[in-house]
Amino acid sequence: MAIDAKNPVPPTLPRYAGMDQVPAHVPPELVKQTGLPYGPEFTADPYKFFAELHHRMPPIYYDVGPFGNAWQAIKHEDALFILRHPEIFTNEGATPFPRDHSDYYYFLPIEIDPPHHRKYRNIVDPFVSPKAVLELSDLIRKRANDLIDGFVDKGGTEFAVAFGRPLPVSVFLDIMGLPQDMRDTFVEWAMDLLHSTAPGMMDAAFRKIQDYIRSAIADKKANPDDKLVSRIAHAAPDGEPLSDKEVFGFVVFLFIAGLDTVFAAMNNMWLWLAQNPERRQEIIDRPQDIDRVVEELLRSWSVTFSGRVLAQDYEFKGVQMKKGDRITCILPACNLDPDVFPNPTEVSFDRPRQTVLAFTVGPHSCMGAHLARLEIKIGLQEWLKRIPDFALIPDTKVEYKPGGVVGPESVPLVW
């Protein structure tokens, strides 16, 4: 039965973690401990790790770890099937962030299956449609250049802090109608929420986000504007206003989804650009191919995953799964599937067109995809125009934090 977002009920689904909580129906030969996304092998070089999964693991296996046990799918064609069949692989109860059971709410639209989730997407669509996003081009270009003005003459900068983070986060805050002077605080909260392995820190960050959003919604209710938080707070799909819990779960989820994904992707991309001067030149020399470039970079460095829950017992690719099992499509690995992308770790702007899974597919495909693509495209164009030559500071040790959004913590550059 479809869940009712106006009357949220805490999930009763079990969350298994660790070797002693492997369900009996899981064949022992499929039980693995890959260390994704927290082990030292993963944090040392996540994209090598994702590529090697295809050689080390069967297409579907049951990954066991301290933060949760789940089936994992790493083949491109399996992910396409899973993500396009919400009647078998549901989003209900699939997100990893725990909420207070005495005051439960759903994350919208991610925790609602079709067709009901459409009414929530309709509220946001006008802000993130290709046309709406294109109208932001001048603003994004100006922001990019204002940021570059601040460091272009300095001979170097910390990319993550000076460009990768402020460019997308400031545009996101504009769309949401949230204050720019909270930018770094928001990023800090999002980082603690998404990358902390200490439960206390994650809980504290989540509490701060929720408290802030509660007060932002109250403010927008009293002082409406034409930005996204206000539109959600005043939305009345089918003539019926959203409940307080719907508004809250919607804004909290947008905050989690939109804040650090683009910047993680850009950090990965600029790290590679800094280490590959001839490929930078190729991008500069092929301005007409910039959209292909962006798509290939997104394929090579997808930053996040799609978690689902089995809505029924189901045998998938010869593997018997049970209702309530969790399954994660490892999108960065699916985009490095050698059966679909030959020589997957080679960045090639001339690949035949294939579905890139960076933003997932199916009913829950990323609502920010057009915006993210445009920010990356304009970021590349403006940066390479003004700083065509740059490198990583010698002897930099690139470090990745554990977590559900994959990107290097720091990208220190010189030119």
Cross-strand partners of 71:
62, 327
Contact by Cβ (8 Å): 282, 272: no
The angle that helices 166-176 and 261-275 make with each other, rounded to 10 degrees, is 160
- In which residue are the tokens 């394929």 written? 299
Sequence-ordered alpha helix ranges (H) in 223-339: 228-233, 244-259, 261-275, 277-285, 290-300, 331-334
Amino acid at 401: K
Kindly tell me which of 74 and 262 has the beta carbon lying closer to ligand HEM: 262
Q: Interface with ligand HEM by CB under 6 A: which range of 133-141, 183-191, 267-275, 301-309?
A: 301-309
Among 22, 257, 387, 414, binds ligand HEM (CB under 6 A): 257
List the interface residues with ligand HEM, window 83-122 (CB under 6 A).
109-110, 117, 121
Q: Which is nearer to ligand HEM, 169 or 205 (CB)?
A: 169
* C-alpha R_g of the chain: 21
Nearer to ligand HEM, 280 or 308 (CB): 308
Residue nearest to ligand HEM (CB): 368
- Residue 261 makes contact with ligand HEM by CB under 6 A: yes
Category of 41 on φ-ψ map: left (φ > 0), alpha (ψ -120 to 50) or beta: alpha
Site of tokens 């960076």: 358
Q: Do 381 and 24 touch, CB atoms closer than 8 A?
A: no
Q: Which is nearer to ligand HEM, 55 or 300 (CB)?
A: 300
Which of 303, 333, 374, 384 touches ligand HEM (CB under 6 A)? 303
Helix axes 244-259, 183-195, angle to 10 degrees: 90
**What is the C-alpha separation between 57 and 49, in angstroms, rounded?**
11
**Cβ at position 317, least distance to ligand HEM in Å:** 20
Query: Using CA of residue 192, residue 194, residue 195, residue 201, what is the dihedral sign?
Result: positive
Which position among 356, 360, 370, 378 is part of the footprint of ligand HEM (CB under 6 A)?
360
Separation CA 193–CA 77 (nearest Å): 31
Task: By CB under 6 A, tell whether 367 contacts ligand HEM.
Answer: yes
Do you find a cis peptide bond into 109, omega within 30 degrees of 0? yes
Tokens of 273: 């650009």
- Counting residues that bind ligand HEM (by CB under 6 A) gives 26
Binding mask 315-334 for ligand HEM (x = CB under 6 A): ----------------x---
Contacts with ligand HEM in 182-221 (CB under 6 A)? none
- Please tell me whether residue 265 binds ligand HEM under the rule CB under 6 A: yes
Residue 166's closest CA among 151, 150, 144, 149? 144
Question: Rounded to the nearest whole angstrom, what is the least distance from the CB of residue 139 to ligand HEM in the complex?
Answer: 14
Interface with ligand HEM, residue 359, by CB under 6 A: yes
**Of 230, 300, 304, 335, which one interacts with ligand HEM (CB under 6 A)?**
304
42, containing H or E segment: helix 40-44
Question: By C-beta, is 80 or 262 nearer to ligand HEM?
Answer: 262
Contact set for ligand HEM, span 119-178 (CB under 6 A): 121, 128, 172
Q: Which two tokens stand for residue 3?
A: 């869940």
**Residue window 26-55: x/- pattern of binding to ligand HEM, with contact defined by CB under 6 A:** ------------------------------
In the bound complex, what is the minimum distance in angstroms from residue 107's beta carbon to ligand HEM?
Answer: 8
Residue 306 as a binder of ligand HEM (CB under 6 A): the answer is yes
List of residues contacting ligand HEM (CB under 6 A): 109-110, 117, 121, 128, 172, 254, 257-258, 261-262, 265, 303-304, 306-307, 331, 358-360, 364, 366-368, 371-372
